Amino acid sequence: MTTAGLLLVPQGIGSLLARTAGGLTDRLGPRPVVLAGIVLTTLGTIPFAVDGASYWLLGVALVIRGAGLSGVNLAVMVGAFRDLEPAQIPHASSTTRIMQQLGGAFGAATLAVVLQSQLTGHHASTAYAHSFGWAIGFTVLAAAPAFFLPRRRTLE
């Protein structure tokens, strides 16, 4: 368990690097920040879909992936709360968090089923690479709703 946590430290570092995404979202709006985060997440996931990638490449990919995921999460949160009245924020916070949890659980369960089906007929490294290919597909699909996010806040 400790080893798995230590192997994910680069992704945590990437998440910390993306903490500026909130300020970027204030200036640019959530759409460009989310789309940039999706691109980073996709780029950071690609090496995991390649059978036999080096540990160094995977470490760098985790930093990029962490920055992308964190950027997306921050921009979505800023976008979700930006036009709300103070009294609406608790409900929006709960709803946003519930949706994140449901989406994450659904995605993890779907990828676990894909991985399990691949493990029955392939070598483990090939099965994992195939499953990460699905993760890339899901990440790219996330760009579609991102285009409906607002760009900049209009000045009144």
Q: How far is the C-alpha of 130 from the C-alpha of 79, rounded, in Å?
A: 33
C-alpha count within 13 angstroms, C-beta hemisphere, residue 14: 23
CA separation (Å) from 154 to 29, 34, 54, 146?
10, 18, 46, 18
Spans of all domains in the chain: 10-146
pLDDT digits (tens, 9 = 90+) for 2-30: 888 888 899 999 999 998 887 888 889 89
Q: What is the predicted pLDDT for the residue at 156? A: 47
Cα torsion angle, 70, 73, 79, 80, sign:
negative
| Average pLDDT over every residue of 64-83 | 90
**Residues across the chain:** 156
Instruction: Report the CATH superfamily, name and number, of domain 10-146.
Output: MFS general substrate transporter like domains (1.20.1250.20)
pLDDT digits (tens, 9 = 90+) for 98-133: 998 999 999 999 999 999 999 988 888 889 999 999
CB-count exposure of residue 30 (10 Å: 0-12, 13-18, 19+):
buried
Neighbours of 125 (CB within 10 A): 12
Cα torsion angle, 103, 14, 59, 64, sign:
positive
